[in-house]
Amino acid sequence: MSEAAVHVDELRKVFDVPEREGGLRAAAKGLVRRRMRKVEAVAGVSFDIEPGEIVGFLGPNGAGKTTTLKMLSGLLYPTDGEALVLGHVPSKREKDFLRRITLVMGNRNQLQWDLPALDSFELNRAIYRIPREDFVRTRDELIELLEVGDLVRKPVRQLSLGERMKVEIVGSLLHQPGVLFLDEPTIGLDVTMQKRIRTFVAEYNRRHGATVLLTSHYMADVQALCKRVIVIHHGNILFDGPLAGLADQFAAYKTINVALENGHVDLDRYGEVVHRDGDWVAIRVPKVETSRVAAQLLADQSVLDLTIEDPPIEDVIELVFAQERAE
């Protein structure tokens, strides 16, 4: 029997959504009979996450990522299926369970708006029943790791978005959760701050062996942190495997970057020329043709250098969703 930190089996969530046409007549009809539509946000997903793993949870808006995270953190009751997080059924919302997890939502503020973050941390100490010496040690460690410094003494409302996110994260981790659900933790942040948060998540994972399920629209987050990704769309899992495998499975082409003695020759017969920069030329070729085309280039041209790359992960993800739409 494997020991997963997160176990999900055929998890499903259906929302009842009221709907009606626009206009007065429809409004009047709605008084008599309210029409409801069932919307399947998560259509029966299954996966396991091992303790200490960092997994990227990818999908476009409305794919079911946040709904899944909310079910796993006990905010939502699933319609069907099973979920276990650290051996707890999240929907039971047991105190022992809630003390061992955290959900950080990049677009939400969980701290007291009018007071310095230090006061909110104190409240979290009382809520999570953290012994004072443990609390002080963890708080100071997190403040140092995230380079928060004196920001914790300023009212939260006076902090910038990035500063607020950092103190949010400190507040969310004071109880040292073993499982972190991170929903767009870097959304809206500048590149430096995104990198800071990424480094922190990796460090927290290393120090505490925490399990992390991360959603992000920034592929840099995923590439820096996740060896494994789960791709979800329309509530269904399209891919679950190593990040590198995503391109193997979905990308139909590769890019050959070649440096030529004369970069101005016509290379259209080898594939689609997508970029030229001096003597460097990028040629997109069908995946199955890559070896043959590369060999041909080496034989036909005066090649100074040659590399073969998978397409950027953003392009692969876009391709995955495009394929799914086409089906």
250-282 burial code (b ≥16 CB/10 A, e <16): bbebbbbebbbeebeeebeebbeeeeeeeeebb
- Minimum distance from CB of 116 to another protein (Å)? 9
Q: Could you write out the DSSP letters of every residue in 81-118?
A: EEEEETTB-GGG--HHHHTTEEEEETT---S-TTSBHH
- Interface of this chain with another protein, residues 131 to 190, rule: CB under 8 A: 131, 134, 175-176, 178
Q: How many binding residues for another protein (CB under 8 A)?
A: 49
Distance CA 123, CA 201 (A): 23
| Of the candidate residues 43, 54, 68, 70, the single one contacting another protein (CB under 8 A) | 70
98: contact with another protein by CB under 8 A: yes
SS (H, E, C) 57-87: EECCCCCCHHHHHHHHCCCCCCCEEEEEECC
- Minimum distance from CB of 26 to another protein (Å)? 18
84: contact with another protein by CB under 8 A: yes
| Of the candidate residues 42, 57, 65, 100, the single one contacting another protein (CB under 8 A) | 100
125: contact with another protein by CB under 8 A: yes
Distance CA 178, CA 171 (A): 15
Distance CA 48, CA 92 (A): 20
Distance CA 92, CA 264 (A): 66
- Minimum distance from CB of 112 to another protein (Å)? 7
Q: Which pair of structure tokens corresponds to residue 192?
A: 């430096």
82: contact with another protein by CB under 8 A: yes
| Of the candidate residues 10, 30, 40, 119, the single one contacting another protein (CB under 8 A) | 119
Distance CA 93, CA 60 (A): 28
Q: Which of 226, 300, 247 is nearest to 58 (CA)?
A: 226
Q: Which stretch, 57-65, 79-87, 228-236, 308-316, contacts another protein (CB under 8 A)?
A: 79-87
Q: Which is nearer to another protein, 88 or 254 (CB)?
A: 88
5: contact with another protein by CB under 8 A: yes
- Minimum distance from CB of 160 to another protein (Å)? 20
- Minimum distance from CB of 123 to another protein (Å)? 6
Q: Which is nearer to another protein, 46 or 302 (CB)?
A: 46
Q: Which of 310, 292, 309, 288 is nearest to 300 (CA)?
A: 292
Which 8-state DSSP code applies to residue 155?
A: B
* Interface residues toward another protein, by CB under 8 A: 1-5, 7, 15, 48, 51, 70, 73-77, 82, 84, 86-87, 93, 95-96, 98-103, 105, 107-108, 110, 112, 114-115, 119, 122-123, 125-131, 134, 175-176, 178
